[in-house]
């Protein structure tokens, strides 16, 4: 008796919803790069922290939240078992016989993420695309459950090699946004805010002694959020470098790409978690 050989959390998207989610993702990530360019190259960049927070919330957080809501609305659990692909969503359950699948085509543009489309034997296409992190594992499971070996032919292209490199290097604990941008942002926030207190108020708790606890906490929160936004912008630069490096290396040797991608990811983590404190130390050190 055949048994379950693959399962994953996925998102099942109709073309229109996929296009909308992709547009939201592109807008949000492009906005980060525009903000980076404004900070680095524009003389008119907003310096008011509250204005920066408003821009960040409107141009990045809002479209990211909308894309996340779409993903949550169409989330599903995928199983490959007993010769069947099962997609279990909140309000419906879809079963596709593996024998009916003629081809698995990875998305050429990995937006709003890495995913695949299913082409069926009767000349049609499964109406929804499936966003999943590991297309290679999915296709391997189909072949092991009786699917034709030709299903793996779709994994020979560059889109599949790129998806495989990404799935071979899933995000770790250090890539968790809460760790990366909420907790780690305290590392630059605390010394920078303390220095600000000395300069502006003459002591480490000068604002508290002058205006009270509420003003002190509000001031600290503004500094904390401002540094968190700065770290998001820095992470966006590193992410562009990782993705660009992956695409440059892709035509050279696709088989070596997962290891190369792992190296790029590790380098980006080193630059983020060690580079930021080092930069701050250099800036604050009394030379």
pLDDT at 80: 95
**Per residue in 158-197, is it b (16+ CB within 10 Å) or e — as a string?**
ebbbbbbbbbebeeeeeeeeeebbeebbeebbeebbbeeb
Question: What is the topology classification, in CATH, of domain 1-167?
Answer: PH-domain like (2.30.29)
Q: For residue 112, what are the contacts with CB-CB under 8 A and spacing of at least 6?
A: 13, 18, 21, 22, 24, 25, 67, 70, 71, 131
| pLDDT tens column, 132-168 | 988 889 999 999 998 888 888 877 778 788 888 888 8
CA distance linking residue 160 with residue 139, whole number of Å: 11
- How high is the pLDDT of residue 156? 73
Q: Which pLDDT belongs to residue 124? A: 75
pTM of the model: 0.87
Q: Which of 265, 228, 286, 260 is closest to 61 using CA atoms? A: 228
pLDDT attached to residue 13: 96
CA distances from 19 to 42, 71, 111 (A): 32, 12, 8
Please list the residue range(s) of the chain that carry CATH number 2.30.29.30: 1-167
pLDDT in tens, 49-87: 888 999 999 999 999 999 999 999 999 999 999 899 999
What is the predicted pLDDT for the residue at 46?
Answer: 59
- 243 in the Ramachandran plot: left (φ > 0), alpha (ψ -120 to 50) or beta? alpha
CA–CA separation, 61 vs 32, rounded Å?
A: 10
Secondary structure of residue 8 in the 3-state scheme = strand
* Cα of 10 vs its chain's centroid, Å: 15
pLDDT score at 123: 65
Residues 6+ apart with CB under 8 A from 39: 45, 233
Tokens of 102: 């003629």
Residues of the chain whose pLDDT is less than 70? 1-4, 42-47, 123, 286-287
Residues 37 and 274: their CA atoms lie apart, in Å, by 23
Q: How far is CA 66 from the centre of its chain?
A: 14
User: CA-CA distance, 153 to 170, in Å (whole number)?
Assistant: 24
Looking at residue 266, its pLDDT comes to 96
- Helix (H) / strand (E) element for 101: namely strand 101-106
Contact 280, 192 (CB under 8 A): yes
Rounded distance, CA 35 to CA 47, Å?
Answer: 12
Residue 239 near residue 155 (C-beta atoms within 8 A): no
């Amino acid at each position: 008796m055949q048994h379950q050989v693959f399962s994953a959390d996925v998102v099942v998207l109709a073309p229109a919803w996929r296009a909308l989610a992709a547009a939201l993702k592109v807008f949000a990530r492009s906005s980060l790069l525009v903000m980076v360019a404004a900070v680095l190259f524009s003389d008119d960049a907003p310096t008011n922290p509250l204005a920066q927070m408003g821009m960040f919330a409107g141009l990045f957080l809002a479209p990211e939240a909308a894309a996340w809501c779409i993903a949550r609305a169409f989330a599903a659990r995928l199983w490959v078992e007993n010769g069947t692909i099962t997609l279990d969503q909140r309000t419906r359950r879809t079963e596709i016989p593996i024998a009916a699948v003629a081809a698995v085509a990875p998305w050429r543009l990995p937006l709003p993420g890495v995913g695949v489309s299913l082409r069926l034997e009767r000349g049609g296409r499964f109406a929804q695309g499936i966003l999943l992190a590991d297309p290679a594992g999915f296709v391997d499971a189909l072949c092991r459950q009786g699917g034709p070996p030709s299903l793996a032919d779709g994994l020979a292209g560059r889109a599949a090699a790129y998806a495989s490199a990404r799935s071979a290097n899933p995000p770790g604990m250090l890539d968790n946004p809460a760790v990366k941008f909420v907790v780690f942002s305290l590392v630059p926030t605390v010394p920078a805010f303390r220095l600000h207190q000395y300069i502006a108020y003459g002591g480490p708790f000068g604002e508290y002694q002058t205006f009270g606890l509420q003003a002190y906490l509000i001031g600290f929160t503004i500094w904390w959020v401002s540094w968190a936004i700065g770290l998001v912008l820095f992470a966006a630069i590193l992410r562009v470098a990782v993705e660009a490096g992956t695409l440059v290396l892709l035509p050279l040797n696709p088989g070596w790409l997962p290891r190369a991608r792992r190296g790029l990811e590790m380098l980006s983590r080193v630059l983020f978690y060690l580079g930021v404190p080092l930069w701050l130390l250099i800036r604050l050190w009394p030379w």
